[in-house]
Structure 1
């Protein structure tokens, strides 16, 4: 089943609003959008323009980027099964290319290393690190 972008956006907006314990009326007033229109956006019946989305996010005191990340996760949930080994290997190579030798030697925690762990865990694929980095990464 395909989830539409407007439906995922609406679900995320509703979740943020209800988590804050706010009503549609409160948010619609703060965002300066009609109550009915906001309701239709939350139900995935209307497409929200970028301006409207910005106003709603401001009213909810949430960053648009954070909302879109949540929507992205809803549209493409993390797979729990094996992924294509070539895709996993390409992702790992891309992540490792972001880690400098100085960071590895210093044992400095890096975003790339965290992503690498997540990729390997999600992929359930064992991929050897490039020569020379395996020991240093394992120690970091």
Structure 2
């Protein structure tokens, strides 16, 4: 995850938790609505001045916002590392060719269950 993605997500979550609109916060922060939207979506990097203005508009301490962003990045990094280990372990166990590498699930394995005479509850017409 990129810093701008994590920062935008944190700012959007803060704005939504206050039940405020983009227009309300953009006006209070003296930034265009479109640019604030781009920052929240991780499309634009926020300068330190812009970030300070947005934090003031949201009545948040910039240090608290940056701390939350740091925690989210750390968590995301740990999750990515854990997924990587699962995929590595899966391929070491011979799940290479038919495995779905995103989930570590063997996709070429088929289970066939007998039908008919082998099942006592099956009716034969």
Give the alignment's TM-score, normalised by structure 2: 0.60
Partners of 2:61 and 2:9 in 1: how far apart?
16
Partners of 1:74 and 1:45 in 2: how far apart?
18
Partners of 2:75 and 2:42 in 1: how far apart?
19
Higher share in helix: 1
Q: CA deviation at 1:77?
A: 1.6
Alignment of 1:49 onto 2:54 = no
Give me the CA root mean square deviation: 1.5
Partner of 2:23: 25
Partners of 1:41 and 1:60 in 2: how far apart?
14
Give the alignment's TM-score, normalised by structure 1: 0.54
Alignment of 1:39 onto 2:28 = no
Q: CA deviation at 1:46?
A: 0.1
Structure 1 runs (4+) greater than 6 angstroms displaced: none
Partners of 1:56 and 1:25 in 2: how far apart?
12
Structure 2 gaps, min length 5: 80-125
Q: CA deviation at 1:30?
A: 0.1
Q: CA deviation at 1:70?
A: 0.5
Partners of 2:47 and 2:70 in 1: how far apart?
17
